[in-house]
Chain A
Amino acid sequence: DGGITQSPKYLFRKEGQNVTLSCEQNLNHDAMYWYRQDPGQGLRLIYYSQIVNDFQKGDIAEGYSVSREKKESFPLTVTSAQKNPTAFYLCASSIGGGAYEQYFGPGTRLTVT
């Protein structure tokens, strides 16, 4: 089955620790995205990548980092510099370009205490 996988589903970390969220897709999509979802705020774009070895900051990139070494993988690192990291994180991919549907993974709920 083609799709996007995110792991783990739930993640708990202590404040001050960096944590990496996994996102893998087997849809052969060029573009991949990371969003953060908070109650009542919708989804906000953290980073996006239109092609391997290239990525751009989204609207709320501070405290996050990404890499895109392989077409199918787009991991997100939440660093200790992110002031409020507890949230639901969603990864998405698309063929490319804004006219195309974005396919979303099931999400990772990160709790930092």
Chain B
Amino acid sequence: AQSVTQLDSQVPVFEEAPVELRCNYSSSVSVYLFWYVQYPNQGLQLLLKYLSGSTLVESINGFEAEFNKSQTSFHLRKPSVHISDTAEYFCAVSVINAGGTSYGKLTFGQGTILTVHP
């Protein structure tokens, strides 16, 4: 079975500072990797995903994540955060089955609450 560990439950930072939210996963098979963001009292929105190819993936609002197969990690980074980035961030994996497809079952980490202070 697969599992996802987000190493920090809360990350406070000041506006315009860099931030890294850490995610490690455990799986005996290949996976797709995702970061979702949840603003207070809302559903989740996809931030970015890694399926294959370049190990560095980027979102439209300045976040990036790098897939590291040897370390089974998919850390999320942003060089300069804004107040509006305050939210809870979830890392998730979807197992790729033997046929090369995936059933869409997501396994989520516990979440990291990012709080950006002025």
Residues of A within 8 A of B (CB): 4, 31, 33, 35, 40-45, 48, 50, 58, 90, 92, 94, 96-102, 104-107
Contacts and interface: CB of A to CB of B under 8 A. Distances in A.
A106 to B, nearest CB: 5
B101 to A, nearest CB: 6
A58 B106 CA distance: 10
Of the candidates A33, A43, A45, A50, the one having the most CB atoms from chain B within 10 angstroms of its own CB is A43
Contacts of B4: 42
B25 interface: no
Contact of B108 (A43, A97, A107): A43
B103 A97 contact: yes
Contacts of B41: 106-107
A106 B90 contact: no
Nearest to B93: A98
Contacts, number: 74
Contact of A31 (B36, B101, B104): B104
Given A45-B106, A105-B43, 13 more contacts: A4-B43, A40-B9, A41-B110, A42-B4, A42-B6, A42-B90, A43-B90, A44-B108, A100-B104, A102-B46, A107-B41, A107-B42, A107-B43
B73 interface: no
A98 B95 contact: yes
Contacts of B95: 98
A101 B109 contact: no
B95 to A, nearest CB: 7
By Cβ-Cβ distance, the 4 closest A-B pairs, closest first, are A98-B102, A98-B94, A104-B43, A42-B108
Contacts of A42: 4, 6, 90, 108-111
B32 interface: yes
Nearest to B9: A40
B104 A48 contact: yes
A94 B103 CA distance: 11
A63 B61 CA distance: 40
A4 B46 CA distance: 15
Of the candidates A40, A41, A90, A100, the one having the most CB atoms from chain B within 10 angstroms of its own CB is A100
Contacts of A50: 103-104
